[in-house]
A and B are shown apart, each in its own frame.
Chain A
Amino acid sequence: MRVPVEWLYEYCAPDLPVQELATRLAMTGTEVDRIEHHGVRALEHFVVGRVLSAQQHPDADRLKVCVVDVGDGEQSQIVCGAPNVAAGQTVAVARPGSVMADGTKLKQAKLRGLESNGMILAEDELGIGSDHAGTMVLDDVLEPGSPLAGVLPLSTDVLELEITPNRPDCLGVYGVAREAHAATGARLRDAPWEQDPGTFDDSDLGVAVVVEARDLCPRFTARAFHDVTIGPSPPWLKARLMACGQRPINNVVDITNYVMLLTAQPMHAFDLDRVEGARLVVRRATKGEQVVTLDDQTRTVDGEVCLIADDAGPTSIGGVMGGNRSEVQDDTTSVLMEAASWDAANIHATSLKLGLRSEASARFEKGLAPEQALDGQAVATKLMLELTGATLVPGTIDVGSGSRPPEPAVLRLRDKRVVGLLGVAITRSQSAMHLQRLGFETAERPDGLDVTVPPWRRNDVTREADLIEEVARLHGVNDQLPTTLPRRRGAVGVLAPAQRLRRRAEDVLVGRGLHEIVGWSFDPPARDDRLRLAAGDPRRAHVVIENPMSEDGANMRTTLLGSLLDVARHNAARGQALRGIFESGRVYLARDSYTRSVTLPHEHHALGALVPGDVFAAKGYLEALLRALRVEGTFASASEPFLHPGRSAAVQIGSHPPTVVGWVGDVHPLVARDWDLAAVAAFEIDLDAVVAAARLVPEYEDLTSFPELREDIAIVVDETVPAATVLDAVRAAGGNLLAHAEVFDVYRGEQIAAGRTSLAIALTFRARDRTLTDADVAPLREKIVKRLAEQLGGELRG
């Protein structure tokens, strides 16, 4: 909302610099995006002039050489390009030193060899109109040399305000004036609708209005004007529209816009003679009905859109945009001025459906009070009479329940609630003052105030809490408020175990050189094929977005691998060698359906990594992570469509039976190639499941009183026997005294038979109550060797 300060000051003029006013508004809840300047600068150089003579330029057909009286008998030669300039005209002159609306600074110049001391101005050069065709001709009573600023609104600061959706009353200059009054205490002048030249007798306006859709149009008012002369608006009005960012059109249309900008009530002017059948009906559209709107677009509407129609069909989309059939035109002489109230939700829905937002719909969709319709009529009537030569047809059409608005709400504001919620002492009389300045009425009660809500705040202020907000913002939530901390009875800030472990898991990878990335939750649908996911793969069960930004972001990801591959490729394409990367974030798996009792999709926090090298490189990181979390992980040969089938494993935790919580392996060469990557390996785990299995509180184990006894064996088995199977057999045979067994070397080659593998295994024996000797361990060792021989065909090597 652009508010010209010059206009605002007509209703409330705080004795403050504009910057300070803006700060006061901002600190009381009216956000000021910026302060702009509209119009010319260096006002002292703009004066009224009189053209004494205007002669053809000797060397230029389209230029005239004028001698202009610029006051005090001083005569200036000005070369002028306007076709209409003529001797005797009173004109607006910019002298050298002036700064024009577009920022250019005027200097003494020579035009085709002749000196020119300034410019005779057109409207657009002053920023008070869009006309550039000719010189602006002023009233002859003006004295040459008088300051132009005294005649025309040449210059104003403009407040660019961000009005929050609860305050449609501030979408008009007078509403902002009320805020300025409340924020500064400066006097608020009477509202511009206090004096209404209109009447309310029952006379015939020459048109009938029928409101069929009462629910969508609670109030419809209209007044009729005859003898209207369509023409340009006066400069002051055009200047204000321009400063508000609107283009002047003609006096009647300009009046509707002006009234809306002042009162927040949108208006619409019909050419009364173009209303077919002298009858307007406000009704729901029939599905598929078409309306040609003011912007010349044909719009097809559904049965919930509210139309204004005459006997020839729809003329307007109520509250959103007028139609071009009954629009005011240059030959219009009779005008029907409409001011109505529309159902906010329906306007909002209509505007969304049609993709059509107008100044009117932006106001109606926030909910205007029905009382405001007549405010608008009062101001419009006054201007129609003043500016268009119109005569007013006595009487006002006023249809609908909105013409009998509800009783104003009276709310109790308890002193102790004010203080208790804000944490600062505010007296009852202070509260009353703030509320009265905003237009609320207050009455003393034993425990506080009874507060009557004015109509324009009816939708916004409905509860005690809303009143406290009004008091708080005007009292000063910033300057007047102490800074205290909550008493936080018994509240202790601590990470939940899962949160602590998630951090630990990330830190382990970072500590080993991996960089964390943050990928997109969105997946392009084509990615499933690129990852070679089979038709029934559970990862194809995406949460699908109905309205994605683009088709490429229609799916929610079911794996982190896509993000990781994308980032790896992004960096490779920029010449950055692949380093290990990981992501710690959610994946989303759809369920069968979402109903009103709403089953949400499955989400879990996943952790995935992509590293240069092979499956063992990836597994090394993963094992480090699992060890850090004190989770026993096991690995079983298993394939995933995007992994190398012979070089991948399922990650499992627990036993009887183990739960699969992820995968690790070489990325399938076809997938790597698709992402332009060399050999890479990856893993992904369900971090929620892993963290849930972590041992949170390790219990002390005595590992020092009785030293352990270590022994290595090398065992030769068929190369098809997994090391994990060998270790299982070793552990089973080793019994309680075997504390630990792990493979530390693998050999295949000349020294053993083809198709066989030698595994070097480190055995650690320990007893809780004594120091073990060879005598204790030798039988166990024999038992282990025997078991390996029997179960797995293993033979002791060397």
Chain B
Amino acid sequence: MTQRIAELRAEAEAAISAAAGSAELEQLRVRYLGRKAELPNILRAIATLPPEERGPTGKAANQVRQALEGLIAQRSEQLAGGELEQQLRRDVVDVTLPGAPPQPLGRLHLLTATRREIEDVFLGLGFRIAEGPEVETVYYNFDALNHAPTHPARDRQDTFYVTDDVVLRTHTSPMQIRAMEAQPPPLYLIIPGRVYRRDNDATHTPQFHQIEGLAVDEDITLADLKGTLLAFARAIFGSDREVRLRPHFFPFTEPSVEVDVSCFMAHDSHPPAQRCRVCKDTGWVEILGSGMVDPNVFSYVAEYGYDPEKIQGFAFGMGIERIAMLKHGVPDLRLLYDNDVRFLEQFG
């Protein structure tokens, strides 16, 4: 009997080692170790053997069974590894094909993206964001902002009127007054929003967007305005930028300055014959108007805690369209309002 067990072992070991796949291995397992196989039968029949054979036979058969089980497990792992290898090779795909399903991607409009970018800079500088009505009173839009009764901006040629006392705001500045009425100093605010002027040509649309800034405290200086706008210019146009203040005139600031930022184009990258599209080779680009809040403006809100002898501040206003166009090289203002999908997809 032990002879037979040894034969079975040799035969099974040879077959298992030669097995070419998991399926064949499973057949071998059934053939040698399955319920009806010879070796389990030998083990089940131990009791029928003469007593002196039972021990050695049982021991041998068990050893062989364990050996074969181990061998099958070992071979199985070998085979599985090989088969996985094959499977992985079969699974190869062209990874340059697009993802599926394609995930749609929308874009914020360039004006919104630019507005948020500017807002975020001033949030970082400690400013909050306020908004005001677009249909505004003449009082807030002109009177309280120290516009002389004959100031040309009041003309019906330049400003949209709803009634004699109500206009479409021509700037975001009226919210300066509303904000000061609502809250005593110190005040650090920016005011983004849509504004309207009666202009329609290559560089003007009757509706456009501005961001107003207002900082009022006891000790705000023109130097603070310069520092604030330098920080802004560097955040938006690059850390190497400088700003330049040029004296100017606005009704609601005194002194008033226009602010230029140093050109951010690489000037050596184009032949000298071609003028820089941004600065026309002057090295500077005008980006906004600003100044120290005129005492007359404070006198309109003096009762709310703005005594012109005690507090002072700066204000500035910039066009979002202009910043966006400069930064992204958009050549024509009207592209911003065409909303052509091929334009929209490029930004935001």
Task: Tell me the chain A residues, 24-73 only, with Cβ under 8 Å from chain B.
Answer: 26-29, 31
> For the complex, what is the distance from the CA of A17 to the CA of B198, rounded to whole Å?
40
Instruction: State whether A514 touches B161 (Cβ < 8 A).
Output: no
Q: List, in ascending order, chain A residues with CB within 8 A of B162's CB.
A: 543-546, 594, 601
Instruction: State whether B337 touches A518 (Cβ < 8 A).
Output: yes
A503 to chain B: closest residue by CB: B116
CB < 8 Å: which of B109, B186, B341 contacts A489? B186
Task: Tell me the chain A residues, 483-536 only, with Cβ under 8 Å from chain B.
Answer: 483-496, 499, 503, 506-507, 509-522
Instruction: State whether A493 touches B112 (Cβ < 8 A).
Output: no
- Chain B interface main SS type: mixed
> For the complex, what is the distance from the CA of A506 to the CA of B149, rounded to whole Å?
42
In the complex, B170 has a CB within 8 A of chain A: no
In the complex, A596 has a CB within 8 A of chain B: yes
- Min C-beta distance of A424 to chain B, whole Å: 6
Instruction: State whether A465 touches B106 (Cβ < 8 A).
Output: no
Q: List, in ascending order, chain B residues with CB within 8 A of A603's CB.
A: 133-135
Q: Which size bracket describes the interface of B in this complex?
A: 35 or more
Instruction: State whether A166 touches B249 (Cβ < 8 A).
Output: yes
In the complex, A791 has a CB within 8 A of chain B: no
CB < 8 Å: which of B134, B226, B336 contacts A518? B336
Given contacts A463-B295, A465-B294, A553-B206, contact A574 B340 (CB under 8 A): yes
B215, B254, B348: most-surrounded residue (chain A CB, <10 A): B254
Task: Tell me the chain A residues, 431-459 only, with Cβ under 8 Å from chain B.
Answer: none
Binary interface profile of A, 335-371, with partner B (CB < 8 Å = 1, else 0)? 0000000001100110010000000000001000000
In the complex, B45 has a CB within 8 A of chain A: no
Interchain Cβ contacts within 8 Å, total number: 253
Instruction: State whether A478 touches B348 (Cβ < 8 A).
Output: no
In the complex, B255 has a CB within 8 A of chain A: yes
Task: Tell me the chain A residues, 563-595 only, with Cβ under 8 Å from chain B.
Answer: 567, 570-571, 574, 576, 579-581, 584-586, 588, 594-595
CB < 8 Å: which of A421, A492, A516 contacts B312? A421
Given contacts A496-B129, A503-B116, A510-B348, contact A483 B230 (CB under 8 A): yes
Given contacts A420-B312, A600-B166, contact A545 B340 (CB under 8 A): no
In the complex, A786 has a CB within 8 A of chain B: no
Binary interface profile of B, 70-90, with partner A (CB < 8 Å = 1, else 0)? 000000000000000000000
Instruction: State whether B104 touches A487 (Cβ < 8 A).
Output: no
Q: List, in ascending order, chain B residues with CB within 8 A of A588's CB.
A: 134-135
> For the complex, what is the distance from the CA of A345 to the CA of B155, rounded to whole Å?
12
CB < 8 Å: which of A365, A424, A495, A511 contacts B150? A365
Q: List, in ascending order, chain B residues with CB within 8 A of A487's CB.
A: 217, 219
A346 to chain B: closest residue by CB: B150
Q: List, in ascending order, chain A residues with CB within 8 A of B137's CB.
A: 598, 600
Given contacts A352-B157, A421-B312, A556-B135, contact A518 B125 (CB under 8 A): no
Instruction: State whether A473 touches B247 (Cβ < 8 A).
Output: yes
In the complex, A164 has a CB within 8 A of chain B: yes
Instruction: State whether A493 touches B188 (Cβ < 8 A).
Output: yes
CB < 8 Å: which of A491, A544, A576 contacts B188? A491
Q: List, in ascending order, chain B residues with CB within 8 A of A352's CB.
A: 155-157
A344 to chain B: closest residue by CB: B150
- Min C-beta distance of A760 to chain B, whole Å: 25
Instruction: State whether B339 touches A571 (Cβ < 8 A).
Output: yes
Instruction: State whether B226 touches A483 (Cβ < 8 A).
Output: yes
Instruction: State whether A586 touches B134 (Cβ < 8 A).
Output: yes
> For the complex, what is the distance from the CA of A422 to the CA of B111, rounded to whole Å?
34
> For the complex, what is the distance from the CA of A493 to the CA of B215, rounded to whole Å?
12
A503, A517, A574: most-surrounded residue (chain B CB, <10 A): A517
Task: Tell me the chain B residues, 119-135 only, with Cβ under 8 Å from chain A.
Answer: 119, 122-129, 133-135
Task: Tell me the chain B residues, 21-75 only, with Cβ under 8 Å from chain A.
Answer: none
In the complex, B100 has a CB within 8 A of chain A: no
B161 to chain A: closest residue by CB: A546
> For the complex, what is the distance from the CA of A647 to the CA of B7, rounded to whole Å?
82
Instruction: State whether A489 touches B217 (Cβ < 8 A).
Output: yes
CB < 8 Å: which of A484, A492, A516, A521 contacts B344? A516
Instruction: State whether B112 touches A516 (Cβ < 8 A).
Output: yes
Instruction: State whether A567 touches B339 (Cβ < 8 A).
Output: yes
> For the complex, what is the distance from the CA of A465 to the CA of B207, rounded to whole Å?
33
> For the complex, what is the distance from the CA of A76 to the CA of B105, rounded to whole Å?
77
- Min C-beta distance of A298 to chain B, whole Å: 23
Q: List, in ascending order, chain A residues with CB within 8 A of B244's CB.
A: 478
Binary interface profile of A, 662-700, with partner B (CB < 8 Å = 1, else 0)? 000000000000000000000000000000000000000
- Min C-beta distance of A64 to chain B, whole Å: 43
In the complex, B96 has a CB within 8 A of chain A: no
Instruction: State whether A421 touches B222 (Cβ < 8 A).
Output: yes
Instruction: State whether B106 touches A472 (Cβ < 8 A).
Output: no
Q: Which size bracket describes the interface of A in this complex?
A: 35 or more
Q: List, in ascending order, chain A residues with CB within 8 A of B341's CB.
A: 515, 571, 576, 579
> For the complex, what is the distance from the CA of A603 to the CA of B125, rounded to whole Å?
30
> For the complex, what is the distance from the CA of A529 to the CA of B288, rounded to whole Å?
42
A577 to chain B: closest residue by CB: B341
Instruction: State whether B227 touches A576 (Cβ < 8 A).
Output: no
Instruction: State whether A576 touches B123 (Cβ < 8 A).
Output: no
> For the complex, what is the distance from the CA of A491 to the CA of B216, rounded to whole Å?
11
Instruction: State whether B339 touches A422 (Cβ < 8 A).
Output: no
Instruction: State whether B109 touches A423 (Cβ < 8 A).
Output: no
B135 to chain A: closest residue by CB: A601
> For the complex, what is the distance from the CA of A704 to the CA of B1, rounded to whole Å?
63
Instruction: State whether A519 touches B339 (Cβ < 8 A).
Output: yes
> For the complex, what is the distance from the CA of A574 to the CA of B341, rounded to whole Å?
10
A166, A472, A518, A585: most-surrounded residue (chain B CB, <10 A): A518
Given contacts A543-B135, A584-B112, contact A477 B188 (CB under 8 A): no
Instruction: State whether B129 touches A27 (Cβ < 8 A).
Output: no
Instruction: State whether A420 touches B221 (Cβ < 8 A).
Output: yes
Instruction: State whether B257 touches A477 (Cβ < 8 A).
Output: yes
Q: List, in ascending order, chain B residues with CB within 8 A of A574's CB.
A: 340
CB < 8 Å: which of A481, A517, A547 contacts B245? A481
- Min C-beta distance of B229 to chain A, whole Å: 9
Q: List, in ascending order, chain B residues with CB within 8 A of A29's CB.
A: 246-249
Instruction: State whether A486 touches B220 (Cβ < 8 A).
Output: yes
Q: List, in ascending order, chain B residues with CB within 8 A of A513's CB.
A: 103-106
Q: List, in ascending order, chain B residues with CB within 8 A of A512's CB.
A: 104, 106
- Min C-beta distance of B143 to chain A, whole Å: 12
B188 to chain A: closest residue by CB: A491
Instruction: State whether A594 touches B163 (Cβ < 8 A).
Output: yes
Q: List, in ascending order, chain B residues with CB within 8 A of A755's CB.
A: none
B104 to chain A: closest residue by CB: A513
- Min C-beta distance of A466 to chain B, whole Å: 6
- Min C-beta distance of B70 to chain A, whole Å: 42
In the complex, B338 has a CB within 8 A of chain A: yes
Instruction: State whether B255 touches A468 (Cβ < 8 A).
Output: yes
Instruction: State whether B160 touches A545 (Cβ < 8 A).
Output: yes
Q: List, in ascending order, chain A residues with CB within 8 A of B135's CB.
A: 543, 556, 588, 600-601, 603
Instruction: State whether B168 touches A545 (Cβ < 8 A).
Output: yes
Q: List, in ascending order, chain B residues with CB within 8 A of A494's CB.
A: 123, 128
> For the complex, what is the distance from the CA of A603 to the CA of B136, rounded to whole Å?
11
Q: List, in ascending order, chain A residues with CB within 8 A of B136's CB.
A: 600
In the complex, A167 has a CB within 8 A of chain B: yes
Q: Could you pull out 9 A-B pairs where Cβ atoms are within 8 angstroms?
A: A26-B246, A365-B150, A465-B254, A468-B254, A468-B255, A483-B223, A516-B107, A545-B160, A570-B340
Q: Lowest 5 CB-CB distances: which A-B pairs, in order?
A: A513-B104, A423-B221, A423-B223, A29-B247, A473-B247
A-to-B contact residues, CB < 8 Å: 26-29, 31, 164-167, 344-345, 348-349, 352, 365, 420-424, 463, 465-466, 468-469, 472-473, 477-478, 481-496, 499, 503, 506-507, 509-522, 543-549, 553, 556, 567, 570-571, 574, 576, 579-581, 584-586, 588, 594-596, 598, 600-601, 603
B-to-A contact residues, CB < 8 Å: 103-109, 111-112, 116, 119, 122-129, 133-137, 139, 149-152, 155-157, 160-163, 165-166, 168, 186, 188, 194, 196, 198, 200, 206-207, 215, 217, 219-224, 226-228, 230-231, 244-249, 254-258, 292, 294-295, 312, 336-342, 344-345, 348
